[in-house]
Structure 1
């Protein structure tokens, strides 16, 4: 089954130029210079059917931060988290639902082909996610497997990526077990993040419900996961760890804790696949009163700064990173200009940041001072229903809005 393909008007194309040009690096290295515009896929929490138009496509001006609407893509039901392969040929999205094609207790994972001229999406296939409420998807660093975290089911799964970009059924999965944390939201296991280390030797699953980071020995070629005997890291009771990100040097990692609004700096032992805490800092401004939950965390491409999002304070916290020790120092808090900032992302050159405000239905852009790490609003934004995720792609075709 294929969804209809949506197209948009294009400027004149350079002969033979496609989205795959110059893309031999990681999936975050898009090969664009400072002056090159980008395409932006925005995943949302909209859509109740497989045919729903729920992924929004924009063009981002890297000079002004303006977001130019291009089209609405057939992303299916609730495509809240996205990822793109290294060659920019395929996009993968979770459907954050509790049922899939009549099957209970599982969401879905969709594979799409990206048109090399228009960036429109065509559905290739869909697979169950092996757990309810999938909220995170990544590819291993060889691009051979999709790794999915199922928040509702408290499970993680590996789905092999086939040569044509389609997904095979899950080849491995794991159910996270109690004991649970003491917070009211830790009613059962809640897998929230699943990604590999820089060497592609280990995969790590962050679980909000059990306050643990689970480690798995990764065999990408055989599509296997072997659980470690002990967790790779245990967070503070009630912290509710949500997202993990590695520093570019591979020696450090940073854990965003949702329930106590903090970020933990970690040293990483690549031989054993384990983490040791360096320090934990609050992501909130001093004197904040009210409810808040942490959401996303990213390290700047040059490894000098760390950014986190606060839902409640509705801010981005900016930290400097001591690249020798991995420790953090708070620089500033900046308003997200909306409500409930979910995901945000830095452009591959680190010059711009886009933040998706889920409950106010808008996406705002910021200039990044690469010397200080500070953020300055561009004054540009886009209205998008329940935006959840921001994914960049090079705009080599020169896409134009209507």
Structure 2
């Protein structure tokens, strides 16, 4: 295999412990074609993944809704990128749904959606997950009786300086920030930002170059833009826009949000409308302008990712049981079909190696 135009892709899914749950593919960075390499079983519902920058280790949540979930560590084979399970730790909460590293890559933060708690784990030098050192329990609710009856933190997002995390809590309509105190191995509350009641903030992203940040609100299908003040770690709302086309009346919830590596475009996924929303991003003001809505060619686009070079967007249609590759025009930000559609049972998360 040529190393000049191919990279590896890991896909997490909903699967039983004994079934294949994490898939490895190669991606041709010229054509967008995907080729299956291997798959791994061993943990139930490995729905969200993260890979170390040195590509030695992969971490996955094991999303259990009937009891405490878990987080698992895998070693990545340097030649064929196969996975070997190293160990697991309990998340002491149900439905772990997201995880991230601290800035030094020595600790892991895991978020439990149903359990409402956030966990901090040191990582061993051999990639194994050590015993949890801190556990923060969120408390609160908001106005939607079905979805906001309790706290539901949905993601942990590392600030550009690597020392703070921002946690959107769908159940409380808040984005709660913590300092990662590595010496004490705990999370220290830094502040809170409230969004419009009933919005349900879900995933969050910082601009790669400017002091702006964006949250996609699951329940209201909106995106809120903030100015970000890194000196005091605060967010100030500057705009909220719909992730759906004007006039759309059907049921839909928003899911993932990403910014193009150039910082010029922002993308969000709609589940129900089953689309990727494309926005122009003005780096001087942080404001968003709608450009395009593209069908994901499948149901429930839970997660999507951009290739590191910004040329392709890959989307996982959880209930469509497929993964679709789109070409991305780097001048306009718009998406176009490549014709590349692969069948995968209940795909949730996609990670493209750098």
What interval of TM-score do these two structures reach, taking the shorter chain for normalisation?
over 0.9
Kindly indicate whether residue 199 of structure 2 is the aligned counterpart of residue 239 of structure 1: yes
- Deviation, structure 1 residue 134: 0.2
- Deviation, structure 1 residue 393: 2.0
- Deviation, structure 1 residue 221: 4.6
- Deviation, structure 1 residue 320: 0.6
- Within the candidate set 313, 329, 340, 1:380 is matched to 340
* 1:70-149 mapped onto 2 (5 Å cutoff): 70-74=37-41, 76-98=43-65, 104=67, 106-149=68-111
1:209-265: per-residue Cα shift (whole Å, max 9, x none)? 00011111112354221113x41x101000000001111015011100000000001
Kindly indicate whether the alpha-carbon contact (under 8 Å) linking 2:255 and 2:301 is maintained by their aligned counterparts in 1: yes
Label 1:195 to 1:75 Cα distance change in 2 as closer, same or farther (>3 A): farther
Structure with more contact order per residue of length (Cα contacts < 8 Å, sep ≥ 6): 1
Kindly indicate whether residue 167 of structure 2 is the aligned counterpart of residue 205 of structure 1: yes
After TM superposition, the structure 1 stretch with the greater mean CA deviation from structure 2, 72-81 or 347-356, is 72-81
Label 1:75 to 1:342 Cα distance change in 2 as closer, same or farther (>3 A): farther
Kindly indicate whether the alpha-carbon contact (under 8 Å) linking 1:315 and 1:336 is maintained by their aligned counterparts in 2: yes
- Within the candidate set 9, 17, 24, 1:57 is matched to 24
* 1:112-261 mapped onto 2 (5 Å cutoff): 112-228=74-190, 230-231=191-192, 233-261=193-221
Distance 2:45 2:104 in 1: 27
What residue is the counterpart of 2:9 in the other structure? 40
- RMSD of aligned residue pairs (Cα, Å): 1.4
1:325-358: per-residue Cα shift (whole Å, max 9, x none)? 1110110101101100010000000000000000
Q: What SS does the corresponding residue of 1:192 show, helix, strand or coil?
A: coil
* 1:277-296 mapped onto 2 (5 Å cutoff): 277-296=237-256
- Deviation, structure 1 residue 121: 0.4
- Deviation, structure 1 residue 133: 0.4
Label 1:222 to 1:117 Cα distance change in 2 as closer, same or farther (>3 A): farther
What residue is the counterpart of 1:308 in the other structure? 268
- Within the candidate set 60, 68, 72, 2:35 is matched to 68
Kindly indicate whether the alpha-carbon contact (under 8 Å) linking 2:102 and 2:180 is maintained by their aligned counterparts in 1: no
Kindly indicate whether the alpha-carbon contact (under 8 Å) linking 1:367 and 1:375 is maintained by their aligned counterparts in 2: yes
Kindly indicate whether the alpha-carbon contact (under 8 Å) linking 1:144 and 1:221 is maintained by their aligned counterparts in 2: no
1:176-204: per-residue Cα shift (whole Å, max 9, x none)? 11143335211211110012201012111
TM-score (norm 1): 0.85
Structure with the higher fraction of residues in strand conformation: 2
Kindly indicate whether residue 323 of structure 2 is the aligned counterpart of residue 354 of structure 1: no
After TM superposition, the structure 1 stretch with the greater mean CA deviation from structure 2, 251-260 or 35-44, is 35-44
Label 1:150 to 1:173 Cα distance change in 2 as closer, same or farther (>3 A): same
TM-score (norm 2): 0.97
